Structure 1
Amino acid sequence: MTCDPDGFLPSVSCEMLRLRAEVLQAIRSVFAAEGYWEVETPLLSQETIIDAHLQPVVVRLEGLPPLYLQTSPELGMKRLLVAGAEAIFQVTRAFRACEQGARHNPEFTMVEWYRVGDSYFDQMAFTQRLVQAAATAAAESAWFERLCGRSRPEDCRSYFGRDFGRLRYDEAFERLAGERVLGRDVSALARLAARAGLSVPDSLHADDIDGWLNLLFVELIEPHLGRERPVFVYDYPETQAALARLRRDDSPVAERFELYLRGIEVCNGYQELTDAQAIRQRFEEQQDLRQRAGWPTLPLPRRFLAAHEAGLPFCAGVALGLDRLMMAIVEAESLADVMAFPFDRA
């Protein structure tokens, strides 16, 4: 192997990068076969999604207001839907400050798509087809066995080849933690954490119900998801809707899903919220949460809101992390095992 004292070489072999390219080619082929067309939207914009849990990378150019590297291409892609696009996808770079670790990199590859007329259940089915095609392409590659010492092609085909499971958020808690949590107050969630022997961080406020739900989910539920086969978790708490539509059941839920592969969350899908006034209200709520957490406020995305006021059609959308998908396919331990230049080599 070439000596690399200056760290100029990629963190993975060219064979891994070729396998990644074959997976990406298979993904593009599925989109083309199912009537999607590829689009491009700005990486650098005057607007950004306002989310209490996502910190955009700010770019400052002389004489201009702050600009933002996009945390996802959602802003531009939904404007295209309003303009008349019906089935679109994008393979792009996304940027999120303050995210670095085995499953996080400040810059990563995102595959995002939307289809007018689809429900989020339709998109679960499409996501299964897409991920299965990607895994099949990897398993059939000449590079797979050479690179994946922990997994044989037949093991990959077996894991990804079966129907993906579907589990409601509350059912996941009942099955894996012994009780449901939707509609429960913070004291009930705290008791569940205590019975499970969880260590509660000092930063978790007593009235932060989402914080408690996230603690319980990450510690008690997530590590067990997608171990025997891929599984969708869907119908999340209404407080975790982001820009997903709400359904007013006995316990209101957000019509969104996440796909888990071997304990790794790889994508997020929404029945998209189309009500411009409701979106504005959610942005204001997220802005308030950002201020409480000490994060800087962000400008309202006015063009995005104007597009919704003009009329976003009924649609569903999904954002998938390509790097995490590669991790799951080759059973890697870190993003650095599947990308050329992670942050410490960028």
Structure 2
Amino acid sequence: MAIDPQHWQPTASIHNLRKRAAIMAQIRSFFADREVLEVEMPLMSQCAVSDPFLDTIETLYADYVGSESYPLYLQTSPEYAMKRLLAAGSGAIFHLGKAFRNGESGSRRHNPEFTMLEWYRPGMDDQQLMDEIADLITPILKLDSVERLSYTQVFKRVLNIDPHTAPLQTLVAETRKHVDIELEDDERDTWLNLLMSHVIEPKLADLGAVFVYDYPASQAALAQIKADAQGQQVAARFELFVNGIELANGYHELTDAQEQKQRLLKDQQTREQMGLPQRPLEMRLVSALEAGIPDCAGVALGVDRLVMLALGVDSIQDVIAFPIERA
């Protein structure tokens, strides 16, 4: 793609960039008051994220000019490195900086380079961390309150379906009512995810700010598994939506090293089945868990989206000075 030298001006106004800077300062002040240590994590690593639904941007590095190069991966999140710090005894920590994801442009809410706020709180579970997130975002977004609904509650409210017990054919039929899609898949999560993204999330816009928690155990990612009030096995994780926009994703973090290893290997197997690149897994995370990580909760929050919501603008380009231009 040829770059037009005439397109030199920022997409965000200077006024919006000043507002953004004030919000960043407010975030840092919030954590300073709570004695949470700010840390800077590496943006590149020899290992990549395992999640089949995230794609890592790859770059090539050479030790010196003319030497053989090898791949490094721009990090989709500082999570793996931060957990290694937790195992080393850092205590409560937060990171406010860049993260990178392939295939994230072309939308009003996405940019392949974005700002992420991620923090970890030893001694907290997912419910307690939701309290802290609400304390952070309520003054920034001028909210009155943040509602909480379980994954089961939102499915029952919008679709009158229990996502844990509904037969696969029911999920498929319900999806086809709302989504024009040619797909054959025997995985329940495929259909649950389609219903969540295409039917339920748009309805959440009517609720303002809402935490959705206790996702199916099969969607645990890096969260612990627990029994809910009905005895159903669920993942101790949550997502925060504001005006229908996904803003944060949090967990009561997995601390079992062998379970973590199995999940990484399963992700790699899924990537192979999907024809996705096989990239080095971050086994140092497993070693860190073996050494011992404190029981804790952690969350990643999209800062660009937070600023977008705070300023009442419609596009992420209105709050980023120089977003990546599409080819």
Q: Report TM bin, short chain.
A: over 0.9
Query: Which secondary structure state, in structure 2, belongs to the residue aligned with residue 65 of structure 1?
Result: strand
**In angstroms, what is the RMSD of aligned CA positions?**
1.7
Cα deviation digits, residues 189-231 of structure 1 (max 9, x gap) = 012223x34212x3x4321322211110112110121434311
Q: Aligned letter for 2:308? A: M
CA shift for structure 1 position 64: 4.7
Q: Determine the structure 2 residue equivalent to 1:343.
A: 324
Q: Which residue of 1 aligns with 2:133?
A: 127
The aligned residue for residue 281 of structure 1 is 262
Alpha-carbon distance between aligned partners in 2 of 1:241 and 1:287, rounded to the nearest angstrom: 16
Other structure's SS at 1:66 match: strand
Corresponding residue of 2:124? 118
Correspondence 1:86-235 to 2 at 5 A? 86-100=91-105, 101-135=107-141, 157=142, 160=143, 162-194=144-176, 196-200=177-181, 202=182, 204-235=183-214
1:278 counterpart letter in structure 2: E
Residue of structure 1 in register with 2:22 after alignment: 22
Give the conservation status (yes or no) of the 8 Å contact 1:236–1:254: yes
Amino acid at match of 2:213: Y
Render the CA deviation track for 1:37-87: whole Å, top value 9, x for unaligned: 100111111122211101111111233532111000011111110111111
Distance 1:345 1:27 in 2: 30
Query: Which residue is equivalent to 1:69?
Result: 74
Whole-angstrom distance in 1 between the partners of 2:271 and 2:241 = 28
> Structure 2-normalised TM-score?
0.92
Structure 1: runs of 5 or more not aligned:
136-156
SS of match in other structure, 1:234: strand
1:38 equivalent in structure 2: 38
CA distance in 2, matches of 1:180, 1:170: 6
Q: Percent identity?
A: 45
Q: Aligned equivalents of 1:169 and 1:176: distance in 2?
A: 11
* Aligned partners of 1:183 and 1:251 also within 8 Å: no
Equivalent-residue separation in structure 1 for 2:58 and 2:244 (angstroms): 32
Of 247-256 and 303-312, more deviation after overlay is shown by 247-256
Q: Which amino acid aligns with 2:250?
A: G
Please give the alpha-carbon distance, in whole angstroms, between the structure 1 residues aligned to 2:184 and 2:6: 44
Farther-moved stretch of structure 1 (166-175 vs 217-226): 217-226
AA aligned to 2:201 is: E
TM-score scaled by length of structure 1? 0.87
- Judge conservation of contact 2:58–2:71 (CA < 8 Å) in 1: yes
Residues 267 and 320, structure 1, Cα contact 8 Å, conserved in 2 = yes
1:283 positional shift: 0.8
Query: 1:30·1:133 contact (CA, 8 Å) conserved in 2?
Result: no
1:332 Cα deviation after fit:
2.1
Counterpart residue identity of residue 229, structure 1:
G
Pick closer, same or farther for the CA change 1:133–1:64 going to 2, 3 Å. farther
Give the gaps of 5 or more residues in structure 2.
Answer: 63-67
Equivalent residues, number: 316
| Aligned residues of 1:48 and 1:75 also touching (Cα < 8 A) | no
Q: How is 1:235-246 mapped onto 2 (pairs within 5 angstroms)?
A: 235-246=214-225
Query: Which consecutive aligned stretches of 4+ in structure 1 deviate over 6 angstroms post-superposition?
Result: none
Aligned equivalents of 1:179, 1:307: Cα separation in 2: 40
Name the residue aligned to 2:313. 332
Q: Does 1:308 align with 2:313?
A: no
